[in-house]
Structure 1
Amino acid sequence: MLVTYLEASRDLCETNSILFGAALAVCRIIGAKLSTAGRATGQSSAIPAWRISIEERIAKARALIGRLICFRSGNNRSRIVRTVRMAFAGTNVSLSQPDIMQKLTERIEGLKQRIAAWGKRIRRYTERSTRFNQNRLFQSNQKRLYKSLERPMVSGTGPAPNQADTVAFWRGLWSEPINHSEGHWTEVVASQCASITPMDPVIITPDDVA
């Protein structure tokens, strides 16, 4: 079968696939273990369960902040009120208290701090994971690492700016005389620097550059 397939092959990519398939079949027949080194697996690219959980918490906290802000702005719909009561469940805070607005602000700020802490944890894990992968890639394939670090070139796809409008815009910024009012601190700095001897001018010659 291998001979038949190879005779029908017309390009190198197809030949490579045929040889790989034959080698894989032989390994399965003789019971040889296949090395998975360098092959991508589903587990390595999967998002950790704890990160998914944190992202869900962040989404719920943001939704709760939005409803608390709506209630603080005067939105008294039954769904909003029910959410606010659930947010203060287990506390002695009542919606009829005179300082309820302050309690709402404190609750909102507390949720924002939690979101910031959760986001920082995710960023810290991402940075650590990125460093680990880059170090491992540096040992195995430096060319691929440097290529991944290159920033993609961004080319504008929109229409080119009008030359007259561009000139008029920058002329309005740079051609108009402006009288700045310097503060008293500039005089203090000038007096402090008056005793400093200026350095000699630096002259760079073609020989220096050569």
Structure 2
Amino acid sequence: MRWTKSMNENALRAYYRAKGEETAGIAYRARMHCFFAELEPSIPVTEQNLADRVRYIMRSKIFDDAELERLRREAIPSSNESAMAGDAAPHTTDQLPRVEAAMDLPVVVDSDDDEMVSHELEQMRSILEEAILETRSTPLENRPRLPRIPLSKRNRAVVRALNPMLVTYLEASRDLCETDSILFGAAVAVCRIIGAKLPMAGRATTQSSAIPAWRKRIEDRIAKARALIGRLTSFRSGNNRPRIMRTVRMAFAGTNISLSQPDITQKLTERIDDLKQKIAAWGKRIRRFSEGSRRFNQNRLFQSDQKRLYKLLERPKVCGAGQGPEQADTVAFWRGLWSEPVNHSEGPWMEVVASQGASITPMDTVTITPEDVAEAVRRAPNWKCPGLDTGCINTG
């Protein structure tokens, strides 16, 4: 079907009239189709074809701004006519300023991108409002994890188009929590508009505990090997069901072993032992990889947050078990070791050492005051071990 100028004008009239009466989402398309059928009853066209045609007209700029304004005024009654209409269509005049404001929104896009027409902006506004309402009613722990979107020209244009729409919500924000909900809802709206996949609610809290891909692959191999061992053992015990026979034939496929050989029992035993050795090797590989990953994570955590590492290393069954000693018993124990004078029986070698050090000037007596201890502790980093041995964990 070839569209003429009058058909294009009627399509725009139907579009402006539908948008003036219905601005939520894409519900205007049905109304636009009805209005166009009244203007052009002899032209068979679907809602989708009509919407695509309006998009093409807006994007290709068949009509200039003056003609678009004339068609819009012809489609939408003026304020005087609306006032005379009374209560016949009260929502039309209420929603008209929103439509005009949406059409006047500045859309900054690159020259290579398709321009965003007014109905696209209305759809984006509806998606934004819906996302903000959902975010406000969703607890923080149930919010989806936002994916990282590529910085393409189209994505930047979507962000630049949504930024002016956020001004009204941010100005009405009452506290920081509501501002956070607005910004998070805007990010969700961007993801929905560009088609980015959002994980299910509450998925963000389970990502850190997911099984690594390498471990899952090895565990799948172990599960398949154990299932095969079970089938081979069942066949060796005399089970000749078709499902078992098919599995055994697949296990010996590509070899010169036939199930009718007299030594098939020995071959089955060798195959089962081989699978058991593979399972043991895969299990050791999982333990080795897990231990290496644990050491790597601990060393990295030691460099960034030692306090958190030591808390992770604590063993509740050992450190927190039982009741601690009384303070008086502790003081009496250490006082008996350090405060009471002790007479030692020295050997003859002490006389030799004393004669050799007789010419050495003795060092002045060192008195350690509480101020000295406080100064040393103040300069020491957190979780510093006492003594010379400060390597609490392997950091190599």
Question: TM-score band (shorter)?
Answer: 0.5 to 0.7
Residue number in structure 2 paired with 1:78: 242
In structure 1, what residue type is equivalent to 2:305? Answer: N
Q: Is 1:125 matched up with 2:259?
A: no
In structure 2, what residue type is equivalent to 1:49? Answer: A
Q: Is 1:109 matched up with 2:278?
A: no
Unaligned runs of 5+ in 1: 10-14, 26-39, 155-205
Residue number in structure 2 paired with 1:92: 256
Q: 1:153 to 1:21 in 2, by over 3 A?
A: farther
Q: Distance in 2 between matches of 1:127 and 1:21?
A: 44
Q: 1:209 to 1:56 in 2, by over 3 A?
A: same
Number of residue-to-residue matches in the alignment = 138
In structure 1, what residue type is equivalent to 2:282? Answer: W
Q: Is 1:56 matched up with 2:210?
A: no
Q: 1:48 to 1:19 in 2, by over 3 A?
A: closer
CA offset at residue 91 of structure 1?
0.9
In structure 1, what residue type is equivalent to 2:246? Answer: R
CA offset at residue 51 of structure 1?
2.9
1:76-99 Cα deviation digits (max 9, x unpaired): 111111111111111111111111
**Partner SS state of residue 101, structure 1:** helix
Q: Distance in 2 between matches of 1:72 and 1:137?
A: 52
Matches within 5 A, 1:122-161: 122-153=286-317
Q: Distance in 2 between matches of 1:2 and 1:147?
A: 41
1:132-187 Cα deviation digits (max 9, x unpaired): 11111111111211121223449xxxxxxxxxxxxxxxxxxxxxxxxxxxxxxxxx
Q: Choose 1 or 2 for highest CA Rg.
A: 2
Q: Percent identity?
A: 71
Q: Distance in 1 between matches of 2:316 and 2:242?
A: 50
Q: Distance in 2 between matches of 1:17 and 1:61?
A: 54
Q: Distance in 2 between matches of 1:104 and 1:17?
A: 68
Unaligned runs of 5+ in 2: 1-168, 187-203, 319-334, 340-396
1:44-79 Cα deviation digits (max 9, x unpaired): 765443332222111111100011111112211111
Q: 1:152 to 1:21 in 2, by over 3 A?
A: farther
Assess if the C-alpha contact under 8 Å between 2:235 and 2:245 holds in 1.
yes
Q: Give the TM-score normalised by structure 2.
A: 0.30
Q: Is 1:68 matched up with 2:232?
A: yes
**Partner SS state of residue 315, structure 2:** coil
Q: 1:91 to 1:122 in 2, by over 3 A?
A: same
Q: Give the TM-score normalised by structure 1.
A: 0.53
Q: Distance in 2 between matches of 1:21 and 1:136?
A: 36
Q: 1:20 to 1:127 in 2, by over 3 A?
A: farther
Q: Distance in 2 between matches of 1:94 and 1:115?
A: 25
In structure 2, what residue type is equivalent to 1:139? Answer: Q
CA offset at residue 2 of structure 1?
6.9
Q: 1:66 to 1:17 in 2, by over 3 A?
A: farther
1:104-153 Cα deviation digits (max 9, x unpaired): 11000100111111121121111111101111111111121112122344
Q: Distance in 2 between matches of 1:121 and 1:17?
A: 50
In structure 1, what residue type is equivalent to 2:312? Answer: S
Q: Distance in 1 between matches of 2:182 and 2:312?
A: 30
